[in-house]
Structure 1
């Protein structure tokens, strides 16, 4: 016992020396103060309520790039950057060296083996199939008709009802319900009618939201913790399991229903039927490649999340921004008034291509508030980034899209301003920005296939609303990002509505 007491301080001192030696070697460019065994996690948790602004501030103070170390003995070690040249290097020039990886697929478990999480040949096949479907004129026409129908039969009547009753509305909830119904119709040919006057709670819609919150949770706690919770089926992991069960039951039931419908149809009848995604994928089976239900489920889920979240997030932040900038709102309305003098004129996909200023406003909303604020990659082999930083093989890398939209080096000293004019040339045309700078739709080989289609749909919705209504954000409403992998508002977007007279 005496010997133990004699050598215990020496042993403790030796272990501490080893620890600090390890931290100095493994953390060459630290972003934050290292809190002994807890690493850099304490300040991150303390600033969780403003996590994206906190990461932006930290990156700016460290030249845009550095390392984050989690608690000792955990795998929460990341290399963070908002340097556009680093991003271009990883997403384009050295694309094959930066993959999603098995850790990504484990965290994003609900996505299965879809286009968002897959690597290599699986990803290439998924992308090729989806690309061929999205590019078809028949699919674009179907989406155009689906959006127009939802706008005129659900969205505008609900806004009319709210205006007549003088009710405060939650625009984010309305956009969320609209895009959920729209994507369900587009992907599985079924409208769950979430956007109804009684605002029903739909289990499948709630399941998608809870799964996204659980994925965010997996990013901020040690892997051992959430895996233990998953094993015990407690806390956020229990919600994840229940959410997966709910949306799997929904998607698989729609797939089974589609297969039954198509088994009773002739080839000619199938060609005339609505061109939703699952039906289209099943029709490709007729041409030689059989897609099992798991493939269809993963394709539907990935396409669903990608399409739904972009629209909900972008429209919510757009209306927040214009609600706080009457000058920009006035210019958008003036453009709508000039291009569509007849109030009964249909605003479809072809028509909204004329709305250049609205396009610029949407680009600004996506720049300042990208729907997916953080992207994650894993290095296959050691590499040196354009910034001069060295990354080792298997290094987990995160780049902050949110911080990139606030970088003076990319957007100039007015980067914090909501300025649609930055996207419009002197000739009144839309200005092109390289994807590795305007990163909301990703860049390189993984750039979003539905980018153009998403812009057209968002412009249709925004134009239809702003043409008829004025919105005023409720006084004192604070817009804070929710704890999710998607950049939504924590408490929604509360606003009052009044009718607008364009003519």
Structure 2
């Protein structure tokens, strides 16, 4: 038994004894007044319940929110580390917009993710965040970057993804669609962010060292954030053992890799100072005068995290839901066939039903199921919840997508029509024609909201619609699972389908 396993065992034993000795101790008022909340005890709070549900924290906290009359709960953790978890849109708006300056990422979150994300845009606050946001916002708003993204996505789709799926269909082979989509997204975002092609989506499905290292760093960093007993990872970090040793090694490798690419880019730019329109984000940042290697590396690694894991997660669950809802699939396919083989940006934007079905999928299975901020001063949320300085406050998109108050009694149904209304032309209703009607970003904070709303939202939809159209036009996606099988939703920094998503591809008749 390793030293860390011994420490963990001792800690659990001590907690178990303490729990037994205090089982008749009066619970905190929050637990006593709400029987659905886990009991909270002196010193350890609800850490026993949190630890017991550690493998399904998203579902467990979602159930707590759904069972709470206010859609908000307060969880007491080890050493009185209290946290608010909410699904109330008014609270979300309060955090992300009205009192934006009071709710930051916080020093703990920055510390937990620093080895992986450094001072990237997703891990900082204040002036540094504002500067990176303005810089990134400028680049994301350019038509030239949008065109570059279209070109990258279409090339990866036509030259790599479709041929692999065609071969699988011809051979009746089973593929893990989650893995395929992650490879597709990883190639795309590396080209868009770095101008580097990892060639991760090839017929042999090779292992890419950079992708593997990135995965490991993301998973271990996520473990730090959700740890019921954070002192355990801090001990491992101090001793440089176990997962913490691997995180340091992985983060170092990622940064070394990125810096080598940056050096090559600088050399290319120095030889050709005229910047072409179809270039990656790294070239754009360097050409605009931002040449500090650490600064640029942090930004680009953050973009890879956002661009790779979120779209692949969204699409994995989307194809699962389509396979279980044939009428929705038929309507999506009808809309796709109305468009050209490779629809241009404006045509993709007009795919209202497909857009609605993607939004509906992410309502049920958001790529980022929970996000947290830290209060910089005492506050009171709109629902009356008292927030003390330094307290972590989390909003919960996964739970919010399951609230009857927000989505009605049929919230469990995958129903894109809840996002649509009938379109009207020349005063006459056209059957099958739809107009998309979005929800406010505080009821549906899948892309965050307020000043930190996702810069890549439009590009994410562009990529997802291109992939959906490219696959469904040619193939029917058939899960390899027994009737009644339900995949398990798991979350690290972003969500995944536990164990992958094995499917067969059935070629459609012309």
Same fold (TM over 0.5): yes
Is 1:101 matched up with 2:106? Answer: yes
Superposed CA deviations along residues 231-288 of structure 1, whole A, max 9, x for unmatched, are: 12223222321221221122111111101111211x33xx226310000001111xxx
| TM-score for the superposition, normalised by structure 2 | 0.89
Superposed counterparts of 1:230-379, under 5 Å: 230-265=237-272, 267-268=273-274, 271-272=275-276, 274-285=278-289, 290-340=290-340, 345-379=341-375
Is 1:32 matched up with 2:38? Answer: yes
| Deviation at residue 20 of structure 1 after TM alignment | 6.2
Report if the CA contact (8 A) 2:75-2:83 is conserved.
Answer: yes
Number of the residue aligned with 2:505: 497
Separation in 2, partners of 1:32, 1:483: 22
Number of the residue aligned with 1:380: 376
Please, which runs of 5 or more residues in structure 2 have no aligned partner?
Answer: 1-17, 424-433
| Deviation at residue 426 of structure 1 after TM alignment | 2.0
Distance 1:243 1:185, change over 3 A: same
Is 1:394 matched up with 2:399? Answer: no
Separation in 2, partners of 1:113, 1:414: 42
Superposed counterparts of 1:72-221, under 5 Å: 73=79, 75=81, 77-109=82-114, 110-218=116-224, 219-221=226-228
3-state SS of the aligned residue for 2:84? strand
Report if the CA contact (8 A) 1:181-1:194 is conserved.
Answer: yes
Separation in 1, partners of 2:168, 2:208: 21
3-state SS of the aligned residue for 2:489? coil
| Deviation at residue 50 of structure 1 after TM alignment | 2.8
Distance 1:28 1:263, change over 3 A: farther
| Deviation at residue 28 of structure 1 after TM alignment | 8.6
Relative to total residues, which structure has the larger strand share, 1 or 2? Answer: 2
Separation in 2, partners of 1:347, 1:273: 21
Distance 1:482 1:25, change over 3 A: closer
Separation in 2, partners of 1:246, 1:350: 40
Separation in 2, partners of 1:348, 1:208: 32
Higher mean displacement: 313-322 or 235-244: 235-244
Distance 1:495 1:22, change over 3 A: closer
| 2:406 aligns with one of 410, 414, 417 | 410
Superposed CA deviations along residues 86-121 of structure 1, whole A, max 9, x for unmatched, are: 111111111111111111101122111111111111
Higher mean displacement: 50-59 or 171-180: 50-59
Superposed CA deviations along residues 394-434 of structure 1, whole A, max 9, x for unmatched, are: 11111211101111121121112111111112222110211
| Deviation at residue 209 of structure 1 after TM alignment | 1.4
Separation in 2, partners of 1:26, 1:322: 40
3-state SS of the aligned residue for 1:425? strand
Large movers: runs of 4+ above 4 Å: 19-30
Please, which runs of 5 or more residues in structure 1 have no aligned partner?
Answer: 1-12
Separation in 1, partners of 2:106, 2:455: 21
| Deviation at residue 351 of structure 1 after TM alignment | 2.6
3-state SS of the aligned residue for 1:398? strand
Is 1:460 matched up with 2:456? Answer: no
Report if the CA contact (8 A) 2:147-2:278 is conserved.
Answer: no
| Deviation at residue 478 of structure 1 after TM alignment | 4.0
Separation in 1, partners of 2:258, 2:221: 20
Report if the CA contact (8 A) 1:441-1:447 is conserved.
Answer: yes
Is 1:471 matched up with 2:477? Answer: yes
Report if the CA contact (8 A) 1:27-1:69 is conserved.
Answer: no
Q: For the aligned residues, what is the CA RMSD? A: 2.2
Is 1:66 matched up with 2:62? Answer: no
Separation in 2, partners of 1:360, 1:292: 41
Number of the residue aligned with 2:418: 422
